[in-house]
Amino acid sequence: MKLHQLLRSYEKGEREFTGIELKSADLARIMLIGVNLSEANLMGTDLSRAFLTKSQLERARLNWANLSFAKMSQAQLAEADLTKASLNGAFMVKSSLRRAKLSGADLQNANLRASDLAGANLCGANLYRVNLREANLTDVNLNWANLQEARLSGANFSNVSLNHANLSSAFLKEVNLSNANLENVNLKDARLSGSDLTGVNLTGANLEGANLRSVNLTGANLTGVNLFGACLEEADLTDAVLVHTSFLDAQISQVQAALSNYMTPFSNFQTGFAT
């Protein structure tokens, strides 16, 4: 189907365009609200500033597509291929991206609040200042992703993989990160107050200046973690692994009791003040 045929059919009320071939087409600013583009070939297509609200794009090929500033709230993109796609500033509130391929995608400043990304691959994606509040990120691959200054409060990160990810200055208040893999992650100046980090692997992570007030770190692996200047007031570190962990200048009031069963005396921890 040619582009002019699609537009004509849409104007007549047609919404079913499953499997359509529009590779590298110019669809910038197009209005296709509520259309079914499942399994469509939109590889390299320009959909910047397009209106795709409530559209179905399951298993669509959108790799290298330009979706910058597109309006896609409540869109269905389960299992879609968005590898290396540009979604800069896209509005995707309450959308479904379950098991979608987003490795290397550009999602800077995108709004994905309350969206479902369970099982998605975001390895190496640029999520600078993205809005993922209340999003479902269960089993998501975020290895090497850039989440600097991302808004993540209320998101579910259960079983997520964040190896070598950059979460510096990110907002992570009251998030579920239980059993997540955060090995070598950068959480410098991140805000994690009230979050659940039960059983998390933070080996080699940088938490310098992070806010960990009232965080649950029960059973967490903090081997080699840098907590310089971090706030750990009222945090629970019961059964946490604290080998070569640095607490220099950290705020640790009401934490000592939680560490009482740790084999190394608390006075031996590296801190910047008398205990």
Reading the block at residue 78, the tokens are 């389960």
Reading the block at residue 88, the tokens are 């800069």
Reading the block at residue 5, the tokens are 């045929």
If asked whether residues 31 and 93 sit together in one domain, one would say yes
Q: Which domain holds residue 185?
A: 167-258
If asked whether residues 84 and 175 sit together in one domain, one would say no
How far CA 266 is from CA of 32, 98, 214, 227, in Å, comes to: 62, 44, 19, 15
CA dihedral 252, 255, 261, 267 (to 10 degrees): 30
Residue 198 falls inside a structural domain: yes
CATH label of the domain that carries residue 241: 2.160.20.80
In angstroms, the CA 129 to CA 146 distance is 9
Residue 275 falls inside a structural domain: no
What global pTM score does this model have?
0.87
If asked whether residues 85 and 175 sit together in one domain, one would say no
Residue 236 falls inside a structural domain: yes
Residue 144: pLDDT band by 50, 70, 90 thresholds? very high
Residue 17 falls inside a structural domain: no
In angstroms, the CA 145 to CA 64 distance is 18
Residue 274 falls inside a structural domain: no
How many domains in the chain?
2
Contact 108, 88 (CB under 8 A): yes
Does residue 269 have a pLDDT over 70? Answer: no
pLDDT for the residue 272? 40
pLDDT digits (tens, 9 = 90+) for 30-50: 999 999 999 999 999 999 999
pLDDT for the residue 259? 52
Percentage, residues of the chain above pLDDT 70: 93
At position 58, the amino acid (one-letter code) is E
Residue 273 falls inside a structural domain: no
Tell me which of 86, 116, 132 is where a domain ends. 132
Residue 146 falls inside a structural domain: no
Residue 269 falls inside a structural domain: no
Q: Please tell me whether residue 227 adopts helix, strand or coil conformation.
A: coil
If asked whether residues 87 and 181 sit together in one domain, one would say no
pLDDT for the residue 263? 39
